[in-house]
Structure 1
């Protein structure tokens, strides 16, 4: 990781559900996801997403968003962010993986350019954001999400529809935002997802698809950014674990051309 200096103006919650290596830069705050459901083996210096006001018990459906909620309610800084124990923003695209993790100083330098940092967009090439989701999950998730926006946040509908028609989008639920924007985004996001939770019946979903609110949230970030005309910079992402591209490609083709998910 580049440099050891940090800036106390920045805090990045790192979601993890198991003990794992963490950067030693104190801007990163490890937080155990789903602590209300499984608390064995939590490292002593980690936060828990069931501390204070939280939704830890919903981790099987909300994924890393239970840590986002915890950060929203418990962390205080000028800039706040969310990362994943395996995925971080990178300051370089080559070199040993851990050394490529963007430090607090590097991130603050990027925030001089814009109030938000997002990961570089993912490109599905032959799939739109809508078709990719439908082939991987349940179409009803998106239908109900759109209905909620139409009823409660109609100003977001145009950006949502445009995003669903594109082949690119910001993914991973990774970002750093100025605190006021972080607060606004979380308030809006969790209101939409809370209503979606009330409307969806996921009792027949597979365990994988029951992570629906985490999946849908990834498709809501771009409409929020665009509707509010928020400037941002993009950074590459470093994944600390190997990507199984052949397996992912095979699964993608199965979902696209068969009913198998």
Structure 2
């Protein structure tokens, strides 16, 4: 690999998240990504998209449903499915020095003179913009590369909940704001605070989380531009916490309507804020929001939550399944070589999930999961438990030191 010359500009890729057709932002830096492509035929908060719209999105942008992905979780995690895809498929973006994320209707604006000429949005924070040729000149990232490379992270300016122009009362905390404006759902937020303050692995964040819990400011929208190494640290922290929340609350959250089902995504903004507080060398800038007149109608009859969490999902969360799947998927030399570390990581994460789940059950027995038999897809779950991969994982858990001697018995059974 050729070394980058000292005076050469760093490579930058900024993902622009879309879940429906809109003005296409695409150049050497801006990379549009279709969020939730695995669920494209199902309704989002803005309703359904047509076959022609879906075709247009497939032709003009990458999807978050290739390689290692969580596209199927998009209705609950929103833009996080695109951020996760970038993390796990970084080489497909050209391995850039800087990586960013913004939304199709929310953009970074670095020109203060331009924002001074704009009208504030109803949130009292972002600026209303109209797409035209002049606007593209203002948000052209190429002329701001020198600014970007001076910092570790570029972020939106801190949002104060009390900036909202039309609010029923003065907010005292972010929790108060989240509760009122996002559907009166606080289970994920409370669990997030509980995890950070009670688990030793997050001790370095415990004092910082109080700044979020006791104040009214945070970094909104999960928007950023950051150095590659910091991005990987950010994703490791963000998704470890988000997946813990989803493993514990995912079933209940999936049963909600299309709006309040997004609670985990909303709370992820506070998780991101917590990480960004630890970054010292950062730059904050304004956010512009496109003025849309046409809004998709929501099809309230569409309910994909029934199949979102099920007996199959429960079984796939069993340690036996995770271990067996990891072993079966280790087909290359590299994956086989790293397999011991992979299994240790899986076991460690699973134990952490169980520790949190046990604490929650003690606090609230009503959170205990249903038995497999109570799910409509119980028979499908039984089939998975009879897979060779599941049996292999279960054998290793029960007999970690002697499983190799018992393996032929399982193999004979599957050869019959």
| TM-score (normalised: structure 1) | 0.83
Instruction: Report the CA distance between 1:57 and its aligned residue.
Output: 0.4
Cα distance in structure 1, aligned partners of 2:25 and 2:279: 33
> Is 1:144 equivalent to 2:191 in the alignment?
yes
Aligned to 1:55: 70
- Which has more helix, going by share of residues? 2
Aligned to 1:129: 174
Greater mean deviation of Cα atoms: 55-64 or 17-26: 17-26
Instruction: Report the CA distance between 1:113 and its aligned residue.
Output: 2.9
Instruction: Report the CA distance between 1:81 and its aligned residue.
Output: 0.6
Ranges in structure 1 where 5+ consecutive residues have no aligned partner: 1-6, 244-261
Cα distance in structure 2, aligned partners of 1:24 and 1:141: 35
Aligned residues: 236
Conserved in 1, the CA contact under 8 Å of 2:10 and 2:98? no
* Change over 3 Å in CA distance of 1:82–1:203 after alignment to 2: closer
Secondary structure of 2:37's counterpart equals: coil
Cα distance in structure 2, aligned partners of 1:144 and 1:81: 28
* Change over 3 Å in CA distance of 1:205–1:25 after alignment to 2: same
Conserved in 2, the CA contact under 8 Å of 1:170 and 1:221? yes
Aligned to 1:19: 21
Greater mean deviation of Cα atoms: 73-82 or 181-190: 73-82
* Change over 3 Å in CA distance of 1:219–1:106 after alignment to 2: farther
Secondary structure of 1:31's counterpart equals: strand
Secondary structure of 1:110's counterpart equals: helix
Secondary structure of 1:236's counterpart equals: strand
Conserved in 2, the CA contact under 8 Å of 1:81 and 1:176? yes
Greater mean deviation of Cα atoms: 140-149 or 184-193: 140-149
Cα distance in structure 2, aligned partners of 1:64 and 1:87: 12
Which of these two proteins has the greater Rg computed from alpha carbons? 2
Instruction: Report the CA distance between 1:56 and its aligned residue.
Output: 0.3
Secondary structure of 1:212's counterpart equals: helix
The one-character-per-residue Cα deviations of 1:55-88 (angstroms, maximum 9, x if unpaired) are 0000000001111111112232000010100011
Cα distance in structure 2, aligned partners of 1:229 and 1:83: 19
Aligned to 2:260: 209
Aligned to 1:186: 235
Describe how 1:1-261 pairs up with structure 2 within 5 A.
Answer: 9-38=11-40, 40-41=54-55, 42-74=57-89, 75=93, 76-92=95-111, 93=115, 94=117, 97-98=130-131, 99=135, 101-125=138-162, 126-127=170-171, 128-135=173-180, 136=182, 137-149=184-196, 150-151=198-199, 152-200=201-249, 201-226=252-277, 228-241=278-291
Conserved in 2, the CA contact under 8 Å of 1:33 and 1:64? yes
Runs of 4+ in 1 over 4 A off after TM superposition: none
Greater mean deviation of Cα atoms: 86-95 or 206-215: 86-95
- Higher relative contact order (CA closer than 8 Å, sequence separation 6+): 1
Greater mean deviation of Cα atoms: 177-186 or 8-17: 8-17
Coordinate RMSD, CA, aligned: 2.0
Cα distance in structure 1, aligned partners of 2:254 and 2:279: 37
Instruction: Report the CA distance between 1:91 and its aligned residue.
Output: 2.6
Cα distance in structure 1, aligned partners of 2:25 and 2:110: 14
Conserved in 1, the CA contact under 8 Å of 2:33 and 2:63? yes
Instruction: Report the CA distance between 1:170 and its aligned residue.
Output: 1.1
Conserved in 2, the CA contact under 8 Å of 1:12 and 1:82? yes
The one-character-per-residue Cα deviations of 1:91-139 (angstroms, maximum 9, x if unpaired) are 3313764416532224422223311000112111222212111223312
Conserved in 1, the CA contact under 8 Å of 2:75 and 2:261? yes
Conserved in 2, the CA contact under 8 Å of 1:10 and 1:104? no
